[in-house]
Amino acid sequence: MGLGNIGLPGILLIAVVVLVLFGRGKIANLMGEVGKGITAFKKGVKDGTEELEADAAAAAKDVTPEEADKDKV
């Protein structure tokens, strides 16, 4: 029996058991913490992407020859 065989009645039963065990307040707090974690993760990914783009832009330097180099050719 895999997780694909649970169905809607099974999910509802699990939800009721979790609600009885933990209470509505604890579940609300837990979901709030999960939301904060997701927000922090997204911010971290965005900051990391911006940092990588800034590093790539700094590494991409101008390779146009200077005026003194043109005279030598």
Q: What is the CA radius of gyration of the chain?
A: 28
Domain count, the chain: 1
* Alpha-carbon gap, residue 2 to 59, rounded angstroms: 50
Question: 3-state class of 4 per DSSP?
Answer: helix
* Alpha-carbon gap, residue 65 to 51, rounded angstroms: 29
Residue 70 belongs to a domain: no
User: Hey, what amino acid is at 19?
Assistant: L
Q: How many residues does the chain have?
A: 73
Q: Model pTM?
A: 0.51
**In a structure prediction context, what are the per-residue pLDDT tens digits for the chain, which is 73 residues long?**
456 677 888 989 998 898 888 888 888 898 899 999 999 999 999 999 999 888 888 777 666 666 655 555 5
- Give start and end residues of each alpha helix (H) in the chain: 7-59, 67-72
Residue 8 belongs to a domain: no
Residue 29 belongs to a domain: yes
